[in-house]
Structure 1
Amino acid sequence: MPELTARAALKREQILDAALEAFLENGYVGASMDQVAATASVSKQTVYKQFADKEHLFRALIVAISDRVEDPFAEIGREVAEADDIDDAVRRLADAFVGGIMTESVQQMRRLVIAEAARFPDLGQEYWNRGFGRVLPTLATCLARLAERGLLDLKDPVIAANHLAGLLLWIPSNRVMFFGRMDANTPEDLARFTEAGVEAFLAAYKKR
């Protein structure tokens, strides 16, 4: 029985990976269960055994991908919150944030969720809650600690966390969304946008 369970779990992952490819390539409307089955190298019956229909498959995919979103501040947040150099601390936060969000997989999912948000508004909120909704509070806690230590001047850590996120992602992520490809930003572009975002944040929030 455990072997069968493990085999079923593997099939499920194969199907979800194939579904991601199909939905990214053709959108929700254009993707088909036949395409998913072919890409996953399983029968259509196997797909339907795991997922009742295309909507259930799409919903399961978004939830599964959301659960894979890692909090880029989980490891360095506490360490950075105790840093003495505020410029270096914010730059480290920025590098972790951009490195975690400006990946092909995250940007692809962002584009897919946004494209289908009107059709599945609850899934859009679910993706937000499991992604940014989980990451921003961690960042806010870190910024609040830096403020308590007199390095930042801010009234609302959550707003400040959103400001930092916006300053870092507005240009590069929107380029990817509208251009439809990851090479919309060169590594040099990304470094320049990140540094500009850090400088703007420090100009607004650094304790004088």
Structure 2
Amino acid sequence: MQAILDSAEAIFLRSGYVDASMDEVSLLAGVSKQTVYTHFGDKENLFASVVGRVTADAAARVHYELPDPVSVSALPAYLEDYARRQLDAVLDERVLAVRRLVIAEAVRFPQLAETFWRQGPSRATDEMRTRFARFAGAGLIVTPDPAASAIAFNWMVMGYAINAAMLLGVHAAPDHAERAQIAAEATRIFLAAHRA
């Protein structure tokens, strides 16, 4: 199954969703077309599986469980680290390529965009909302609406970086030093509004 997903990802990213064929996937994977259909059902499910794998790989680099900060003074370092990991994940060339493909196909295949949304951006803000609710409960931050706070923090971190990378190419994405600056400034602004 790994070979099928690897092959499908390569073909989708090279040819786009519409022009990718199950024949090509089976040929590159070294399996019969029937095997591809048996495992994935159809091209849409295969693409959803590729999107799921790419977003899960990215999410694993960001959303692994870390112990919550135990004091207000530990919160800035925690948030900066989280923001840097988030930037590294979403600016990964593979993730950007899948994001571009999903956006290109969103009008014709809105369900593909919904899959990417659920498994990527929506999951990220849900995870942050859960953390912010815990932090508020522990008295580390003040927020009447953890979901709105999560969205605000997420876009302070991601807005410029993702737009630059998507519109101008991966070479325009912030480098590691710039990512650290973005993370630090987003954290500073966030805590100015939410500090307990």
Q: Same-fold call, TM > 0.5?
A: yes
Q: Which one has the largest radius of gyration?
A: 1
Whether 2:71 is the aligned partner of 1:83: answer yes
Deviation at 1:193, TM superposition (A): 2.1
Whether 2:155 is the aligned partner of 1:166: answer yes
* Conserved 8 A contact 2:55-2:116: yes
Deviation at 1:157, TM superposition (A): 0.4
Cα distance change on mapping 1:67 and 1:148 into 2, 3 Å: closer
Letter in 2 for 1:70: A
Q: Distance in 1 between matches of 2:89 and 2:33?
A: 35
Structure 2 counterpart of 1:177? 166
Query: 1:19-30 alignment to 2 at 5 Å?
Result: 19-30=8-19
Post-superposition Cα deviations, 1:61-83, rounded to whole Å, max 9, x if no partner, equal 3344455442723411x423x33
Structure 1 counterpart of 2:86? 97
Post-superposition Cα deviations, 1:159-198, rounded to whole Å, max 9, x if no partner, equal 1011111011111112221123366332222222222222
Structure 2 counterpart of 1:73? 63
Whether 2:130 is the aligned partner of 1:141: answer yes
* Conserved 8 A contact 1:71-1:135: no
* Conserved 8 A contact 1:101-1:107: yes
RMSD, aligned α-carbons = 2.8
* Conserved 8 A contact 1:146-1:152: yes
In the alignment, structure 2 segments of 5+ residues that lack a partner are none
Structure 1 counterpart of 2:184? 195
* Conserved 8 A contact 1:171-1:193: no
Deviation at 1:117, TM superposition (A): 1.8
Q: Distance in 2 between matches of 1:16 and 1:89?
A: 34
The counterpart of 2:5, out of the listed 16, 36, 43, is 16
Letter in 1 for 2:128: L
Indicate the percent of aligned positions where both proteins have the same amino acid: 34
Q: Secondary structure at the match of 1:19?
A: helix
If asked which structure has higher relative contact order (CA below 8 Å, sep 6+), I would say 2
Q: Secondary structure at the match of 1:153?
A: coil
- What is the TM-score when the length of structure 2 is the normalising length? 0.80
In the alignment, structure 1 segments of 5+ residues that lack a partner are 1-11
